Amino acid sequence: MFRLIRLPIMFGAAFVLGVFSERNAALDKCLDAGGAMKSGVCRGVSE
């Protein structure tokens, strides 16, 4: 029974960690390009 409860918790934790990881990677790319992140959107970078 515990395995049925643990599985969704582990998937949820992996999903949340993945989201934070991707947000951090997007922030790094934005800052490297000379922009600034505002509300999750990179601003101030012209391609």
pTM exceeds 0.85: no
Rounded CA separation 6/44 (Å) = 43
Is the pLDDT at 45 greater than 90? The verdict is: no
9-44: pLDDT as tens digits: 999 999 999 999 999 999 999 999 989 999 889 998
The pLDDT of residue 12 is 98
Assign residue 34 a region: left if phi > 0, alpha if psi is -120 to 50, beta otherwise?
Answer: left
